[in-house]
């Protein structure tokens, strides 16, 4: 009998007030009223179908992302959380996160979110520089971002701030200023990551004034030192926490756990009792989804692809990767990846112990090159 991994739940809310030029997540701008009631009803029906695949496992965490989930009113979130709890085995201590846009923080609405069961908020600030916020096409300014943080702090102590570096026209001074503002408000978690321009975004075809790679390296080095000095522990490539405040939901991804993905365009990963792993992608057409056509793609992860999929997540973490864990999560023998491991060792991307592997500083710096070694 295969030991099934922990499983979490991702809920996708696809609407936004504006599509940012760097965003490659599935979302679209709402030009009219959002069909909230219909969408939530169908989210729960979508969930019911997927629950048949998970063999009565407890849901370890819930993450409501998007898009902009905070566009939904408090009654919709209340019905969603109530419906999830009714249909699943969800511990009263489970982490339940909602992503929020600083433009949309309303104290009453967010207080009701908390009453509904939300116990962690994630605020997409990106930068406190009003000029740079315009450049990356955000819909608020520095004052609104700070006001949003203050409102969140009134409601809940456990919250994350998303901050980016390497923005067009951004200086090292700008980056350190952003981090100083962020730690001033004492978030329990900071996601600090470099802006990357993906092919399917509007920024990809623009001539952006991105900082030189040498400047970006200085941003990374000095920013990381500042966060460490400020009491934040780095546990993943772009994640920094106060003690005992890891993002449990993301940690499950990085540990190659399972997750149900419900809602338009949501992705899922589910391990079957025979060791097979399937990926699911939900219908991106909102009208089709509301009419009950939830699943778009369901495909099997081939055995030869499992090592890459596993290490693509696990190598991001700042901790040993235990060989036993790899075998449990992939149902693949260590012998099947001996050549790949040998090559990674020769490149000095990893170090090996009798029971584990761990990425070196070089391995973290050249993560894509390391992962290519395991690419089928």
- The per-residue pLDDT for 243 is 96
Structural domain contains residue 342? yes
* CATH code of the domain covering residue 352: 1.10.10
Below-50 pLDDT ranges, the chain: none
On whether both 146 and 239 belong to a single domain, the answer is: yes
Exposure letters 93-115 (e unless 16+ CB within 10 A, then b): ebbbbbbbbbbbbeeebbebbbe
On whether both 237 and 325 belong to a single domain, the answer is: no
- CB-based contacts of 227, cutoff 8 Å, min separation 6: 179, 183, 190, 192, 234, 240
Structural domain contains residue 83? yes
Domain that holds residue 317: 303-376
Domain boundary among 252, 267, 282: 252
On whether both 308 and 209 belong to a single domain, the answer is: no
On whether both 247 and 308 belong to a single domain, the answer is: no
Structural domain contains residue 69? yes
On whether both 308 and 229 belong to a single domain, the answer is: no
On whether both 235 and 139 belong to a single domain, the answer is: yes
In the chain, the number of structural domains is 2
On whether both 224 and 317 belong to a single domain, the answer is: no
On whether both 227 and 360 belong to a single domain, the answer is: no
Angle 12-16-21 from CA coordinates, rounded to 5°: 110
* Residue 278: how many other CB atoms lie within 10 Å: 16
- Record the pTM: 0.95
- The per-residue pLDDT for 106 is 85
* CATH code of the domain covering residue 75: 3.20.20.70
On whether both 105 and 233 belong to a single domain, the answer is: yes
Structural domain contains residue 285? no
Structural domain contains residue 263? no
Structural domain contains residue 262? no
Structural domain contains residue 184? yes
Exposure letters 266-276 (e unless 16+ CB within 10 A, then b): bebbbbeeebe
On whether both 224 and 372 belong to a single domain, the answer is: no
Query: In whole angstroms, what is the distance from residue 28 CA to residue 14 CA?
Result: 6
On whether both 355 and 217 belong to a single domain, the answer is: no
| Residue in 134, 125, 239, 242 with CA at minimum distance from that of residue 181 | 125
Angle 316-322-325 from CA coordinates, rounded to 5°: 95
Structural domain contains residue 264? no
Query: In whole angstroms, what is the distance from residue 106 CA to residue 123 CA?
Result: 13
Query: In whole angstroms, what is the distance from residue 354 CA to residue 340 CA?
Result: 17
Half-sphere exposure of 274 (CA within 13 A, CB side): 4
On whether both 115 and 45 belong to a single domain, the answer is: yes
């Amino acid at each position: 009998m295969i030991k099934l991994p922990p499983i979490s739940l991702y809920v996708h809310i696809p609407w936004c007030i504006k599509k940012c030029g760097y965003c490659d997540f599935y979302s679209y701008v709402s030009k009219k009223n959002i069909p909230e009631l219909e969408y939530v009803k169908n989210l729960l029906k979508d969930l019911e179908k997927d629950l048949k695949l998970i063999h009565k496992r407890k849901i370890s965490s819930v993450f409501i992302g998007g898009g902009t989930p905070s566009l939904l009113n408090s009654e919709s979130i209340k019905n969603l959380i109530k419906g999830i709890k009714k249909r699943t085995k969800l511990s009263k201590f489970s982490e339940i996160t909602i992503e929020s846009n600083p433009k949309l923080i309303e104290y009453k609405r967010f207080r009701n979110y908390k009453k509904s069961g939300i116990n962690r908020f994630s605020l997409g600030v990106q930068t406190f520089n009003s000029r740079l916020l315009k450049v990356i096409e955000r819909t608020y300014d520095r004052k609104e971002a700070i006001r949003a943080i203050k409102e969140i702090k009134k409601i809940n102590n456990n919250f994350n701030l998303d901050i980016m570096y390497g923005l067009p026209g951004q200086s090292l001074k700008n980056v350190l200023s952003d981090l100083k503002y962020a730690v001033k408000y004492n978030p329990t978690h900071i996601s600090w990551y470099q802006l990357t321009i993906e092919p399917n975004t509007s920024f990809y075809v623009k001539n952006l004034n991105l900082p030189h790679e040498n400047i970006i390296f200085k941003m990374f080095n000095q920013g990381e030192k500042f966060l460490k000095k400020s009491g934040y522990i780095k546990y993943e490539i772009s994640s920094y926490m106060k003690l005992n405040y890891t993002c449990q939901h993301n940690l499950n991804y990085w540990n190659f756990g399972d997750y149900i993905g419900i809602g338009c365009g949501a992705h899922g990963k589910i391990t079957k009792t025979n060791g097979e792993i399937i990926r699911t992608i939900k219908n991106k057409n909102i009208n089709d989804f509301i009419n009950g056509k939830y699943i778009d793609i369901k495909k099997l992860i081939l055995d030869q692809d499992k090592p890459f999929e596993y290490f693509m997540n696990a190598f991001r973490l700042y901790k040993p990767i235990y060989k036993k864990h790899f075998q449990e999560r992939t149902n693949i023998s260590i012998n099947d990846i001996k050549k790949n491991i040998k090559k990674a060792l020769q490149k000095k991307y990893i170090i090996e112990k009798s029971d584990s592997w761990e990425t070196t500083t070089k391995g973290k710096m050249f993560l894509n090159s390391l992962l290519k070694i395991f690419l089928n």
